[in-house]
Amino acid sequence: MNHTPPLVALAILASTACPTPPAEPVESAPPDAAAGEPEHAPTPYTAEQIRDASRPGRTYRFRVEIPGAPTVVREIRFEAVDTETATIRSTTRDEAGNVLEAPEPTVAAWEELRRHALFPQDVVELTEAEVTVPAGTFACVVYTVTTSEGVEVYEFATDLPGPPVRFWTEAGGARTMTSTLVEYLPGVDAAAAP
């Protein structure tokens, strides 16, 4: 499949104390068809919605749980943003706060971030749900992706353009990984910064 876990691998993907209206799913078939790709389900946000919701300092903290492994906290922080790209730093810590991984920041185009939530139409089911995680309660569009390798479930908050507030993977009917948003910081508007 053509994806990695949304923004969480850079995340991926992918808010809002910003005045952005709730996002509506956006059809992505025309650009993909032009590129010769198979039909895809609509993505939860446009590239512009992700860009408009992102400010320097925008931070997501996820608790990542894998059976048989220590729980870690993955932080995704937008260090800089402009009209075309975002500079994103992903840091992994243990539960005591010790840094385990801190690679150099990556630069991603807004369209690249949108495409992290691009799934083939024939393997995804879209539903809606109210989802409660430690960071709050959110109205979400839920993407359930089923392939021969297992199931992936992504819960995208309609008013928080970016990574899902929770996602998990299953194989053979057993949960293999869960990523849950435990804290969200919207960042600051450059015009409002001192």
- The answer to the question of residue 194 being in a domain is no
Per-residue pLDDT reduced to its tens digit, 5-58: 444 343 333 322 232 333 333 333 334 333 434 699 999 999 999 999 999 999
Domain limits for position 109: 29-185
Average pLDDT score over residue span 75-99: 96
- The answer to the question of residue 190 being in a domain is no
Domain of 35, CATH number, reads: 2.40.360.20
Residue with the two structure tokens 């992505």? 28
Per-residue pLDDT reduced to its tens digit, 97-149: 999 999 999 999 999 999 999 999 999 999 999 999 999 999 999 999 999 99
Average pLDDT score over residue span 71-88: 97
- The answer to the question of residue 90 being in a domain is yes
- The answer to the question of residue 55 being in a domain is yes
Percentages helix, strand, coil for the chain (3-state, rounded to 5) are 10, 45, 45
Query: How many domains are contained in the chain?
Result: 1
- The answer to the question of residue 191 being in a domain is no
Report strand pairing: 99-101 vs 85-94: antiparallel
Q: What is the pTM of this model?
A: 0.80
What single-letter DSSP state applies at residue 121? G
